[in-house]
Structure 1
């Protein structure tokens, strides 16, 4: 599957929300997507809406930020932000609404000063919120989190076309050929009927079966000096690694409209699990000095999921089942976390002196 990137249009009034727009832009970029906003528009002799409309039409999602101002009004009596919103709705672009939760706390210089302006803003908010989930925010930190959660949810609930790298897509001729094969396949199915094919699956190892993990070295400052772990290969049963995996598997959670989701923090998990395993095999401080590979982490997650110790979807508050928590407690009580051994290399920690690598410097 190709990893998609999405074009996201940021819409709001400008002068009063410059910091907020920049925060949302940074959030979108950090998610690997492409922000589109007026700050990036070139000088042009086209009218503002004539230039903006195609950009909205080609965007995958539309983020609307509403603060304390209705915005500059065009000749037709509507603000440009209001018109952008309506065009996104007309084009079927999913709209994510971010409304300031306490407009009474917004500084006077960033709020509507006339009764007409306040009335237009109130009507705009009501229209934007109608039959849509909206997120309230008060600080830029709130806004960044709200946008991230809203986009994560929108990508799952309302998937869009998005973009992929050109070098990851097959040529047009190849796609046409695949499409023709698909059509022929459908004709065969109609002729022969849908045939159920049993695909043999490899059997899952027993909990007591042995597996091997590679511990990789890391460097970190410990007790005022730079220290480095060693490389080693560790052997143990699948279940013997689980209590340490359970304790050191790092994940984050978020919620949207009452639904909870979790995601793996891969780097932190690899370091935490690797260092914990090393600490069971050596009488030295190992925190942050060992890690397992991402492949090993994914392999452990796959096994524990198949074994019923982890949930098979990220739509939950925790990646672990109730059975997993009970298993981890029982093994901690029994003290069986160290029933594994080093079969290659050693678990050791050494000081790293600044001049150890001088002979490798190319001069």
Structure 2
């Protein structure tokens, strides 16, 4: 495999975190990657953000260090660190948040002194840690370790283009091919730029918000005992109430290629296992193999749990689920929490198949 190096943008307030920034720079260099940060910026006539944007856009990963200060507020009401963070999100760069674990221990000189600053810092932290890789640190050594852990995880779960040595390219023909692809990509980006519009994204429902899904009937052949089938029903529950059954019954296959593991969803088996498990919460009868959810319902659940950070966006690795998802599932098992669903249309029943009425079971 090609030995890649990655460009990592370091973002934080400056004066209060100079020592921490140097430590993160050293950690990134020790991993063989390239840090990019404010200290390296030359004097320029460009505004700070005009100069920073292309550097962020060219980076593979973005490390945000948050201490006790929000930072200098620009004319638009945001600090430069906050604006860097927002631009990284807009460009789709994986953001790794390093949050101080004990802000009350930070020296007064390195903390916000006004209520406005404290409020803005709290709001920034809430925005930054929502649905993305977040690590806490208390000492510089911990910070270096957390950065290494987060980058290692991000490289596995969110692989990026990176950089390779020129002598690792096999031939002149390969270089010519890469150059052709590069030119095509530039044309594509230029076209997209000309067509760019501001398209707002729909809000993600809260975990406790209700959603409904349809259970579809299946027929199960029991041999000499005849056939039985489930019923049709619409079931309502919160997004999080469906998750433990989704987690347990999602059918995943893994394989390896060139030393890397990849996971894939078996959609047909997953639809049956999840549908039957949900039905099993609503009746005392054995529902195995008698219900299913539709493929588009499964994809809707996968999309939601991915967006909220419970499933990995990349299929690289041995599991589809994040550490947070596994922790939630463990907590449900420990607490013995039963899923709270309501049938809003139809009913959940098990009975003989329609073409099997009157059959003598021998």
Scaled by the length of structure 1, what TM-score is found?
Answer: 0.48
Scaled by the length of structure 2, what TM-score is found?
Answer: 0.49
Structure with larger Rg:
1
